[in-house]
Amino acid sequence: MLFTQNKPTAEVLESLGAEKNIFLLGCNGCAEACETGGEKALSTIKAELEKAGKNVTSTTLVDFLCNKVLVATRLARETDNIKQTDSILVLSCGVGVQAVSKVVDKVVHPAANTVSLGGLQGLWPSDERCQACGDCALDYTGGICPITFCAKSLLNGPCGGAQDGKCEVDSEKDCGWQLIYERLEKVGRLENFKKIRTPRDHSKMLPSSELRKTSFYDIEV
């Protein structure tokens, strides 16, 4: 079980900016249990987006967004629809958001913060992908996690150590910031990277006492 919590609506709206046509994609796995994905969450966020003047082009539910193959097969049916949307708002853990950004060349936005990977991991090898930082930055980076893909978890761009696109720590490993840069360029969002991202709030990594009181948490962790 992966624990996610909704990002505040204001933050989600800010990340959508001027985008008008939004494809909603929810996860029916752990996120459903956390009420951040699933049917109910989809309809809540749909109403909020419409209230803010957005056009929701689809509300699609996938059982496990962390299963990249499942995501690719399911989204293949939505190709035309996705083409016409400005971006995809993903209601899942960070692994799900990354799976989506891996299979479609569209701007993706996370609707939730991943706070704990306790219990069963996501299906796409995932603790390597998401460290449950509690303040998901995938929106800013175009769907590639800066915390796990950069050996120094840098938030404002590459260090001086990358060589030929590989990380200074391991010449076999891609530099995360090189990937992020290429991705942002591809989806036309380089301006994201020009904004200074403020330091992480590490206290967000601690599951809140409310979360710890839930039976899910009790059973899974």
Partner 1 sequence: MKLIERFKQGKFVITCEAGPPKGIEMEQMMSELEPLRDKIDAFNVTDLQSSVMRVGSLATCRLLKDRDLEPIMQLTCRDRNRLGLQSDVLSAAVLGIDNLLCLTGDHPTMGDHPQAMPVFDLDSVQLLSAVKGLMGGKDMAGNDLEGRPPQFCLGAVVNPGAEPLEPQIIKMEKKIQAGAEFFQTQAVYEVDKFARFMKKVKHLKVPVMAGIIFLKSPGMAKFMNANVAGIHVPDELINELAGVGKEKRVEKSLEISARLITELKDLCQGVHIMSLGWERHVSTVLEMAKL
Which residues lie near ligand SF4 (CB under 6 A)?
A: 94, 113-114, 130-133, 136-138, 145, 147-148, 150-152, 154, 158-159, 161-162, 167-169, 175-177
Q: Within 13 Å of residue 65, how many CA atoms lie on the same side as its CB?
A: 30
Applying CB under 8 A, among 13, 70, 72, 162 the residue interacting with partner 1 is 162
Q: Do residues 189 and 181 touch, judged by C-beta distance below 8 A? A: no
User: Which of the listed partners (partner 1, ligand SF4, none) does 200 bind, with a CB threshold of 5 to 8 Å by partner kind?
Assistant: partner 1
Nearest 5°: phi and psi at 103? -100, -20
Instruction: In whole angstroms, give the CA distance from residue 13 to residue 112.
Output: 13
How many Cβ atoms from other residues are within 10 Å of residue 180's Cβ?
25
Q: Does 186 bind partner 1 (CB under 8 A)?
A: no
Q: Which stretch binds partner 1 (CB under 8 A): 15-23, 127-135, 175-183, 210-218?
A: 175-183
- Name residues whose C-beta falls within 8 Å of residue 121's C-beta, 6 or more positions apart in sequence: 2, 127
Closest approach of partner 1 to the CB of residue 153, in Å: 6
Q: Does 190 bind partner 1 (CB under 8 A)?
A: yes
User: Which of the listed partners (ligand SF4, partner 1, none) does 164 bind, with a CB threshold of 5 to 8 Å by partner kind?
Assistant: partner 1
Residue among 30 and 145 whose Cβ is closer to ligand SF4? 145
Q: Does 157 bind partner 1 (CB under 8 A)?
A: yes
* Residues counted in the chain: 221
Closest approach of partner 1 to the CB of residue 138, in Å: 18
Q: Does 69 bind partner 1 (CB under 8 A)?
A: no
